[in-house]
Amino acid sequence: MTDPAHLHGATTERQAVTPAGQAAAAPATAAATPASPRPAVDVRDLRVHFKVHRGLLGSQVVKAVDGVSFTIAPGETLGLAGESGSGKSTVARTLVRINRPTGGSVLLDGAETARLGGQELRAYRRRMQMVYQDPYDSLDPKMTIKDAIGEGLSVRGVPRARRRSEVEELLARVNLPVALAGRYPGQLSGGQRQRVSIARALAVSPEVIVCDEAVAALDVSIRAQVLNLLKDIQADAGVSYLFISHDLSTLRFMADRIAIMYVGRLVEYGTSGQVFSQPAHPYTQALMAAVPDVANLGAARPAPLPGEPPNPASPPPGCAFHPRCPLAVEICRTVAPPLVRKASGQLAACHVVPDAPEVTP
Amino acid sequence: MDLVADVITVEHLTVAFPAREGTGEVVRDVSLAIGAGERVGLVGESGSGKSLTARAIMRLIPQPGRVTNGAVLFDGAELGAKSAPTKWRGTKIAMITQDPLSSLNPLVKIGTQITEMLRYHRGLRRAEAKARAQELLRSVGIPDPRRTMTRYPAVLSGGMRQRVALAIAISCDPRLLIADEPTTALDVTVQAQVLTLLEQMTADHGSAVLLISHDLGVVGSFCDRLLVMYAGRIVESGPTTAVIGGPAHPYTRALIASIPSLRGELPDRLASIAGSPPHGGAQAAGCAFAPRCPMAREVCRQTDPALLEIPSLRTDPADSHQAACHALGDENWNQAA
């Protein structure tokens, strides 16, 4: 099965919801066979549960991520959206192994990584890098830019003699003047700092870069520069992105496919074209309606979604979204809906939205 | 705008901080007027001076900054010349900020913080104030006001805290409510709730609103009129539809073009503005945007352009659309539009 949205540079495919585009939604369950080519990242039924101690009386389990599956093809961008407490940052932190998964598997280029340790884990982290929201916190303030980037190069085993020229190459690649190499992070602007973070991630030649709200802290006029840069790097290096953002319009620009999270689970998963032209899950619809869009100012503001995202420590029973959902029926209060293919082509977890008609293979 | 008297008029406001080089002026010659019940948006990036403009109105400029020029008139009379800020702050002009966790007292229960306001400014007795506080909390959509009043700010969610801050802000029916990035820290669905509530509450209480945000979408969907700030100056002002539909200043244009949209055609690349905004005041001469401006010419580097009316067919003075750019009226400029 050829899968255009999985191929590098297939951005033009994602506007139209073609039959091929529909096939682009990756397998939702561990049982399904992955689409070809082999995904760079294959996350299957990922669970990250935290034990939280509550005084003397014992502990409670917070299911920050509870059964999440997705794939990212080489050179592809998967956009992950959700509100605070949805678990999207926990997914990111688990992928780079700041958090340890408590269940499920994370396959990098087909190899299981969830239980790696020691040397193997270090090798793994070289292939999976992360760019954080706040470049003020993620760069060592006492390290010059060239040292911060050079550290990555030494990890990759670049001989000392070649480091300087490689640092300069990396700076050029993120459109920073070489003159900045001797400066400290505190002497740079936010946009420059985020470019350094990107250069630092690139220094180890990763296959995947996890961008967790990587442009959220930047000024509006700087955001576009960094987003364009990330796209250029992807076109050059064929790196895959897991691009996490609360900002749906940024995701629409960046991502080939979109996953929407709500309280630890995926509620919608499909190509960018599918999700943005015909959002299936009522939560996705509400999220999109809530975005004040410069291109659509004439429209009356729709009635806002009531309530707030629930505390992941005590999610509502059944479908976690049911207390806020305008479509909720009785079954939603008791049974969590599975993530299945819907009539509009993407996967969604909702009892009410009609499923796609059964197709016999 | 002539029909309703302006609630607040800011004239030639300049705010400066001591600086080693340059003037240190972070707000430069800002003039604005807001009519009764009007909703005006102030948009800009970090360091553009939008929050300091608001703080200058409230007379809350942090040390060692000070207002070096200009005046703030409330109902036509100069604010603060004769009366202590406590006489009008909170009652005539109220303000809500990005995170109420920093504006609410963390050690005082919600109930006390609201009733204190009503007792001090409104002269209500304890029981009256308590009843009124419950009413206010209910009106901002807090489900269990009686219980919420016994709680501390830290235990509430960001959205709930912002509702409490709004309840306090409107408790004395202010003529002007300044909302400085009120939804920036909130989730997008909660942001929609707070904006809807802000719209409804200020309409009910007849308050004018000055909404400050970096998010053009937020101010665009909420405000009648927009003011765009860059490096301490207002570079464009006009009705929302005109500023967003037909932006005149190259900065406003670039800003709008650089925002990805949820609808319409998807560009392969975003239009971006080279460089970054200046911080800590502008350079000595010329237009502050010139170093980043694709249309900059010699004159732009030498003299700062004045904020001028954009020639148009509109006749209503309320529709005044102004921009500060030397290229205004050039043939090139019209073609670029």
pLDDT tens digits, one per residue of A263-285: 999 999 999 999 999 999 999 99
Rounded to a whole number of angstroms, the distance from the CA of A168 to the nearest CA of chain B is: 20
Q: What residue in B sits closest to A283 (Cα-Cα)? A: B189
- Between B46 and B4, the higher pLDDT residue: B46
Q: How many angstroms separate the most distant Cα atoms in chain B?
A: 68
Q: What's residue A2's pLDDT?
A: 41
Structure tokens at A122: 């270090």
Residue located via tokens 């506080």: B133
- Interface contact B46-A227, CB threshold 8 A: no
* Helix and strand element counts for chain A (H, E): 11, 12
* B150 phi and psi angles, rounded to 5 deg: -90, 5
Q: How far is B85 from chain A (nearest CA, A)?
A: 33
Q: State how far the Cα of A220 lies from the Cα of A32, in Å rounded to an integer.
A: 41
Q: Does the pLDDT of residue B251 top 90, yes or no? A: yes
Cβ contacts of B20 within 8 Å, gap of 6 or more? none
Mutation site, B187, B251, B269, interface A, largest A CB count within 10 A: B187
CA distance A74 to A310: 34
| pLDDT confidence of residue A242 | 97
Chain A residue whose CA is closest to B188 = A290
Residue B313 has pLDDT above 90, yes or no: no
Nearest to A287 among B157, B189, B222 (CB): B189
pLDDT at B283: 62
> Do the beta carbons of residue B80 and residue B264 sit within 8 Å?
no
- Residues in CB range of A338: below 8 A, 6 or more apart: A349
| Of B311 and A210, the one with more pLDDT | A210
The tally of CA atoms less than 13 A away on the side-chain side of residue B1 is 22
Strand partners, A42: A71, A107
How far apart CA A101 and CA A87 sit, in angstroms, is 13
Q: Phi/psi at A228 (nearest 5 deg)?
A: -60, -45
Contact B135, B171 (CB under 8 A): no
| pLDDT value at B146 more than 90 | yes
Distance CA A82, CA A89 (A): 9
Q: Is 60 exceeded by the pLDDT of residue B1?
A: no
Alpha carbons within 13 A on the beta-carbon side of A346: 28
Rg of chain B over CA atoms, in angstroms? 21
In sequence order, the 6+-apart residues with CB closer than 8 A to the CB of B329 are: B311
A145-155 vs A160-173: helix crossing angle, rounded to 10: 120
pLDDT at B281: 57
Distances (CA, A) of A173 to A140, B60, B170, B292: 21, 44, 51, 21
A337's CB contacts (< 8 A; 6+ apart) are A319, A349, A350, A351
Encoded tokens for B86: 């406590």
Q: Region B117-144: what's the mean pLDDT? A: 91
Q: How far is A222 from chain B (nearest CA, A)?
A: 7
pLDDT digits (tens, 9 = 90+) for B13-60: 999 998 877 778 899 999 999 999 899 999 998 889 999 999 999 988
**Amino acid letter, residue B292:** R
pLDDT at A60: 86
How far does CA B330 lie from the centroid of its chain?
A: 31
Q: Tell me how far apart the alpha carbons of residues A283 and B314 are, in angstroms, rounded to a whole number.
A: 42
> From CA B183, how far away is CA B195, in angstroms rounded?
8
Cα distance between residue B63 and residue B202, in whole Å: 31
Joined together, the tokens standing for residue A197 give 């973070």
Nearest to B273 among A15, A221, A249 (CB): A221
10-residue mean pLDDT profile of chain A (361 residues): values are 40 36 40 62 96 81 95 96 91 93 93 88 93 86 94 90 93 91 90 92 94 89 91 94 94 96 96 95 94 78 85 92 95 96 94 84 55
d(CA A318, CA A325): 12
Tally the residues of chain B: 337
The amino acid present at B305, given as its one-letter code, is P
Contact A225 B45 (CB under 8 A): no
Residue B80: strand, helix, or coil: coil
